[in-house]
Amino acid sequence: MKLVNARIVTRDVPGLTTFYESVTGVAPVGSDEYVEFHLRGATLAICSASVIRLFEQHAGTTVTNRSIILDFEVDDVDLERTRLDGIVSDWILEPKTQPWGNRTMMFRDPDGNPVNVFSRSRPKPPGGWA
The pTM of the whole model exceeds 0.85? no
Q: In CATH, what number does 68-130 get?
A: 3.10.180.10
Domain boundaries, the chain: 1-64, 68-130
Quickly name the fold that domain 1-64 has.
3.30.720
pLDDT in tens, the chain (130 residues): 788 889 998 989 999 999 999 999 999 999 999 999 999 989 999 998 877 655 555 555 666 776 689 999 999 999 999 999 999 999 999 999 999 899 999 999 999 999 999 999 865 555 554 4
CB 54 within 8 A of CB 82: no
